[in-house]
Homo-oligomer: A and B are copies of this chain.
Amino acid sequence: MLINELLEELKNTKLIIKNDRLLLGLSGGSDSIALLFILKKLQTKIGFSLGLAHLNHALRGFASDKDERFVRKLAEKYQLPVFTKKVNIKEFAKEQRLSLEDGARRSRYDFFIDTANKNKFNKVALAHTQDDQVETVLLKLLRGSGLTGLCGMPQVRPLSENLKIIRPLLNLTKNELLTYCRENKLKWREDRSNQSSDFTRNRLRNKIIPLLKKINPGLNNTFIKMTTVLKEDDNFLTEKTVKLFKQVLQKRTPEGLRLDIKTLLKEPLTLQRRVVRYALELVQGDLTDVYLPFIDNFLENKLTTVKLGKNGKLHVSKEKL
Residues of A within 8 A of B (CB): 141-147, 150, 200, 203-204, 207-208, 211-212, 214-216, 219, 222, 225-226, 229-230, 232-233, 235-237, 239, 268-271, 273, 292
Most buried by B among A141, A142, A222, A230: A141
Which chain B residue shows the least CB distance to A211?
B208
Q: Which single member of B143, B207, B239 contacts A211 (CB below 8 Å)?
A: B207
Q: Please give the distance in Å from A95's CB to the nearest CB on chain B.
A: 24
Q: Which single member of B230, B239, B292 contacts A229 (CB below 8 Å)?
A: B292
Main secondary structure of the interface of A (DSSP, over half): helix
Give A271 to B269 CA distance when docked, in angstroms.
19
Whether A268 touches B232, Cβ cut-off 8 Å, given contacts A208-B208, A225-B144, is: yes
Q: Which of chain B's residues have a CB closer than 8 A to the CB of A145?
A: 226
Interchain CB contact under 8 A, A237 and B226 = no
Q: Which of chain B's residues have a CB closer than 8 A to the CB of A204?
A: 215
Give A212 to B208 CA distance when docked, in angstroms.
8
Interchain CB contact under 8 A, A230 and B143 = no
Give A271 to B292 CA distance when docked, in angstroms.
26
Q: Which of chain B's residues have a CB closer than 8 A to the CB of A271?
A: 236
Whether A146 touches B215, Cβ cut-off 8 Å, given contacts A141-B141, A235-B268, is: no
User: Copy number of this protein in the oligomer?
Assistant: 2
Which chain B residue shows the least CB distance to A147?
B233
Interchain CB contact under 8 A, A225 and B292 = yes
Known: A142-B219, A144-B222. 11 other contacts (CB 8 A): A142-B212, A142-B215, A143-B222, A144-B225, A145-B226, A146-B226, A146-B229, A146-B230, A232-B273, A233-B233, A235-B270
Task: Report 19 cross-chain contacts, Cβ distance below 8 Å, ordered by A residue.
Answer: A141-B141, A142-B219, A143-B216, A144-B222, A146-B226, A147-B147, A203-B215, A207-B211, A208-B208, A208-B212, A229-B273, A232-B268, A232-B269, A232-B270, A232-B273, A235-B268, A236-B237, A236-B271, A237-B237
Q: Which of chain B's residues have a CB closer than 8 A to the CB of A143?
A: 216, 222
Q: Which of chain B's residues have a CB closer than 8 A to the CB of A215?
A: 142, 200, 203-204
Q: Which of chain B's residues have a CB closer than 8 A to the CB of A268?
A: 232, 235-236, 239
Give A144 to B221 CA distance when docked, in angstroms.
9
Give A169 to B214 CA distance when docked, in angstroms.
31
Q: Which of chain B's residues have a CB closer than 8 A to the CB of A269?
A: 232
Q: Which of chain B's residues have a CB closer than 8 A to the CB of A239?
A: 268
Which chain B residue shows the least CB distance to A230?
B147
Which chain B residue shows the least CB distance to A140?
B226
Q: Which of chain B's residues have a CB closer than 8 A to the CB of A273?
A: 229, 232
Give A212 to B209 CA distance when docked, in angstroms.
11
Give A207 to B210 CA distance when docked, in angstroms.
12
Q: Which of chain B's residues have a CB closer than 8 A to the CB of A144?
A: 222, 225-226
Q: Which of chain B's residues have a CB closer than 8 A to the CB of A207?
A: 211
Which chain B residue shows the least CB distance to A207?
B211
Q: Which of chain B's residues have a CB closer than 8 A to the CB of A235?
A: 268, 270
